[in-house]
Amino acid sequence: MPMINLPNGGAIEAFSTSAPREFPRARPPFPRIALAAAHVVADPLAEQDPWLDAKVDWDRTIAFRKHLWSLGLGVAEAMDTAQRGMGLDWVGAQELIRRSLDAMQDHPGAVMASGAGTDHLAPGPDVTIDDVIRAYEEQCEAVEAMGGRIILMASRALAKAAKSPADYERVYARILSQVKQPVIIHWLGEMFDPALEGYWGNHDHMAAMDTALAVITAHADKVDGVKVSLLDDQKEISMRRRLPRGVRMYTGDDFNYAELIAGDEHGHSDALLGIFDPIAPAVGGALAALSHNDLSTFHDILAPTVPLSRHIFKAPTRFYKTGVVFMAWLNGHQDHFVMVGGQQSTRSIQHFSELFRLADKAGLLRDPEMAVARMKALLAVHGVA
């Protein structure tokens, strides 16, 4: 297997790659719903100001969704993994959702849900709760008009405008009363987006959870599930056990997903995760094992992906998307390591080197020779021969 010299602290060390792992293949239905929040592929050759413009390579972006569907995973579209509100604006998000819905028609049985939020409404002192409601209504109506299912995203404008938990209850009650199909509510923690600090009207997560649960319980017929992204398994389990019957918990915990998906005697979590984008083949294999109640193989497959995920999502967590796209480049899903908003610059060469090692250990470098060649190119740019 090919060798490569990688930075490790202040030294350069030789590293020998391993053969990629062959994961079991199976077709849904799986015993858990698994949605991968998919990234977008930037167009590196477009005339643009990379920090200001979002030029997307639509062919490669949609091809990646087809890759996820082929493995039996669903797609969570236009989420934060797609740099929603972090490079990709609402206009671009609508185009992304429309193209993905069109592509899904060629994949019978494929599953997809799409983010609807308020990111076209800039937070500010003059923004009112009514403004937030109208913004949510506009996006929900647009997604439904395209025939899509809704993931109700957390709102920066609401976090800024709300004065109390009652404001959250009012906004969500209004939107949930109007949606045509049950939605997935997304509680995105401040570690993913600092502008969402104090969401649900309280800086204490357990107190905030009470408000979220009150909203869900009051409108349980309009809530398919809730995605919790707090990177705290005990908080997720606590909330999961308090959900109304029939409302799913979609884990958003990129640190503890294996145990949460496996579950315990009291229940389990389904999943809507950004890490499922780069580890999709392993996820498909693990769910295939779970279909046969083979927990040993399930954990054997996912266990080495957890250190990789914890590294990709390490603080500052909001930069995790860089690692996701880096993996897509190493594995040949795109021909370049360029991101919308120039975010390929948010992690260091030390970070990428450790990510490379962990991906190899998890058996997720599908063509080690190609991955080594690409890693060497990135190292050369950083002055590492």
pLDDT of 8: 93
Residue 25 lies in a domain: no
Quick check: is 253 in a domain?
yes
Residue 51 is predicted with a pLDDT of 83
Give the residue from 275, 344, 261 showing the smallest Cα distance to 305: 275
pLDDT in tens, the chain (385 residues): 999 999 998 899 999 999 999 998 878 899 999 999 999 999 999 998 888 888 999 999 999 999 999 999 999 999 999 999 999 999 999 999 999 999 999 999 999 999 999 999 999 999 999 999 999 999 999 999 999 999 999 999 999 999 999 999 999 999 999 999 999 999 999 999 999 999 999 999 999 999 999 999 999 999 999 999 999 999 999 999 999 999 999 999 999 999 999 999 999 999 999 999 999 999 999 999 999 999 999 999 999 999 999 999 999 999 999 999 999 999 999 999 999 999 999 999 999 999 999 999 999 999 999 999 999 999 999 999 7
Range of the domain at 328: 3-8+33-381
The maximal CA–CA distance of the chain, rounded, in angstroms, is 60
Give me the phi and psi of 214, to 5 degrees please.
-65, -40
Residue 26 is assigned to a structural domain of this protein:
no
Spatial neighbors of 193 by CB under 8 A, at least 6 apart, are 80, 85, 154, 156, 318
pLDDT value at position 52? Answer: 83
pLDDT of residue 191: 97
CA gap 269, 262 in Å, rounded = 8
Q: What pLDDT does residue 139 have?
A: 98
Q: Is 205 left (phi over 0), alpha (psi -120 to 50) or beta?
A: alpha
Q: What is the pLDDT of residue 206?
A: 98
- What are the φ/ψ torsions at residue 14 (nearest 5 degrees)? -70, 140
Decide if 307 is inside a domain: yes
> What local confidence, expressed as pLDDT, does residue 330 receive?
98
Task: Indicate the number of domains in the chain.
Answer: 1
Does 27 map to a domain? no
> Residue 244 domain-assigned?
yes
CA dist., res. 197 & res. 185, Å (int): 17
Asked whether residue 282 is domain-assigned, the answer is yes
Round to whole Å and give the CA distance between 90 and 84.
8
Please write down the HEC assignment for all residues of the chain.
CCEEEEEECCEEEEEECCCCCCCCCCCCCCCCCEEEECCCCECCCCCCCCCCCCCECHHHHHHHHHHHHHCCCEEEECCHHHCECCCECHHHHHHHHHHHHHHHCCCCCCCEEEEECCCCCCCCCCCCHHHHHHHHHHHHHHHHHCCCCEEECCCHHHHHHCCCHHHHHHHHHHHHCCCCCCEEEEEECCCCCHHHCCHHHCCCHHHHHHHHHHHHHHCHHHEEEEEEECCCHHHHHHHHCCCCCCCEEEECCCCCHHHHHHCECCECCEEEECCCCCCHHHHHHHHHHHHCCCHHHHHHHHCCHHHHHHHHCCCCHHHHHHHHHHHHHHCCCCCCCCCHHHHHHCCCHHHHHHHHHHHHHCCCCCCHHHHHHHHHHHHHHCCCC
pLDDT at 174: 98
pLDDT of residue 165: 98
Question: How does strand 34-37 pair with strand 223-229?
Answer: unpaired
Residue 56's CATH number? 3.20.20.70
Residue 272 lies in a domain: yes
User: Which conformational region is residue 172 in: left (phi greater than 0), alpha (psi within -120 to 50 degrees), or beta?
Assistant: alpha
pLDDT of residue 10: 85
